[in-house]
Amino acid sequence: MHLTRRKFNKTLAGVAGLGALGPMGRAYAARDNEMNILCWEGYNSDEVLGPFRDGNPGASVRAESGTSDPDMINKLRAGEVNVWDLINVNQPWAREQLYPEGLIKPLDKDRFMPYFEQMLPGFSDPYPLAFADDGELIGMPQRYGPFSFVVNTDKISQDMAEDQGWNLFLDAAMSDRYGVLTYDNWNIMHMCLTAGLNPFEEIAGDGLDKFRGVADQIFGGARLLTDDLVAMNTALINGEIDAYFTGGTYTASPARYDGATNVRGITPRSGPVDGKGGVVWIELTSAVNNPDPSKLAEDFLEYVQGPDVCKAVAFAEGTYNPVSQMANPDVMSKFDSEELDAIQWDTLEEEMSRSLDYQVVTSYQTLNEIYNAAKRG
């Protein structure tokens, strides 16, 4: 076929026209017939979404998993509030950024408060960070996990690691024997704790010098940096490293469930903030402040409280995590001993008691600059 300029332009115009029609078509779709979830991996699995789709035939239910809290929040900031109905991020983001900026909206308390009663201690009170300063309920907790660091217990005993805590990484003998998982917002918190500082209070002057010293030392002694937990676990299992900075049940569980039970998340026994040195993340699922909201959003939030779905959320593909609903015997009975071992159920409660809630780091901007300068070397 001989392609003339005229034909070429005509085809191009046709394609452009079709492309422009795409988004227009969407604007006319009825919103009660669709729901879109922006979430961490797990909520987007068929085990979780399948039964909900069956229960809502005719509705288009779509879930997309993000790779970090800020990535997902950037989508809402970039104007996708009219695309998503639910967002699932870690606890401080909802309270400190999403709600104050009007990106999420309060949930119906009458409908959701009763679910707290069936949750584990610590969540049932109810969980304070699920509420905004104005008292509104802004998200429901489900998956959680202590998150401090991970060791290979064949090389470093659990007892010694818990006892040494963060000092393990300042030990000269550990130089070049550990990795840094570059979940930056976590590392900043953990480096504060390593430096004996409280990350949730303002850090200035002397504190900044201490933080800088720790950041330089930890990056200086790291054998590898990666944001890929599979790569990190692989390096730990094959002996490339003996421990990694920033990690917990979330990162260790896939390796443990695969049989490498020598990979273990560690929560330090002591630390600088009220004697605690560990940190715990708790996901909150919130309703996006969509100008054209879908009524399926709250239905889904209620649906994920059911025992089968709780299990499916806890053991979705990728990582395995405890869920706050495990106080309910119907939920608990869904887990077998191997699964409980993967999520370190034996020490979970104790680890939680040694952990601080993941909150917004007060001096984040200053610390982030020092942190990134240290990372660049």
Partner 1 sequence: MERLHSRLGLFSALPMLVVLGLCFLAPLVVVAAFSVMPRKVFDLAHLPDFSAYLVFFQQGYYKPLFWSLGMALVSTVILFVVCWPLAFGMAKVFRRFTLVLTVAVVVSLFVSENIRLFGWVLTLMKGGLIEGHWRAFTGEGFESPLYKVPIIIFGLVYVYFPFMLFPLAQGIAMVPDDARQAASDLGASKWQILREIDLPLAAPGIVVGSLLSFVLAAGALAESKLLGGQTVIVIADSVETAFTYGQDWPLGSALSMVLILIIGAMAIFGISRVDLDAIIGRKR
Contact footprint for partner 1 (CB under 8 A): 5, 9, 12-13, 16, 68, 70-71, 73-74, 77, 97, 179, 182, 184-185, 223-228, 231, 234-235, 238-240, 365, 368-369, 372-373, 375-377
Straight-line distance from the first to the last Cα atom of the chain, in angstroms, rounded to the nearest whole number: 57
Q: Is 323 helix (H, G, I), strand (E, B) or coil?
A: strand
225 versus 327: smaller Cβ distance to partner 1: 225
Secondary-structure breakdown of the chain: helix, strand, coil percentages, each rounded to the nearest 5: 50, 20, 35
Half-sphere exposure of residue 137, counting CA atoms within 13 Å on the CB side? 17
Closest to partner 1 by CB, 33 or 67: 67
CB 248 within 8 A of CB 150: yes
Question: For residues 51 and 70, which CB has a smaller minimum distance to partner 1 in the complex?
Answer: 70
CA distance 49 to 304: 10
CA 278/CA 248 separation, integer angstroms: 10
Q: Supply φ then ψ for residue 268, to 5 degrees.
A: -55, 150
Would you say 286 and 98 are in contact if contact means Cβ atoms under 8 Å apart? yes
45 near 61, Cβ under 8 Å? Answer: no
Structural contact between residues 162 and 269, judged by C-beta atoms closer than 8 angstroms: yes
Where do we find the tokens 């469930």?
257
CB of 78 to partner 1, least distance (A): 8
Nearest-approach distance from CB 223 to partner 1, in angstroms: 6
Closer Cβ to partner 1, 4 or 337, answer by number: 4
Task: Note whether 340 and 322 are within 8 A (CB).
Answer: no
In angstroms, give the least distance from the CB of 369 to partner 1. Answer: 6
State how far the Cα of 200 lies from the Cα of 207, in Å rounded to an integer.
Answer: 13
Amino acid (one-letter) located at 312: A
Q: Which is nearer to partner 1, 41 or 302 (CB)?
A: 41
CB of 49 to partner 1, least distance (A): 25
Residue placing its CB nearer to partner 1 in the complex, 170 or 224: 224
- Nearest approach in angstroms of CB 193 to partner 1 is 18
Q: How far is the CB of 239 from partner 1 (least distance, A)?
A: 6
| CB-CB contact of 112 with 301 (8 Å) | yes
Q: Which is nearer to partner 1, 2 or 5 (CB)?
A: 5
Q: How far is the CB of 267 from partner 1 (least distance, A)?
A: 23
238 vs 337, beta carbon nearer partner 1: 238
In sequence order, which ranges of 104-228 are alpha helices (DSSP H)? 109-116, 158-164, 184-194, 206-221
Minimum distance from residue 25 beta carbon to partner 1 (Å): 19
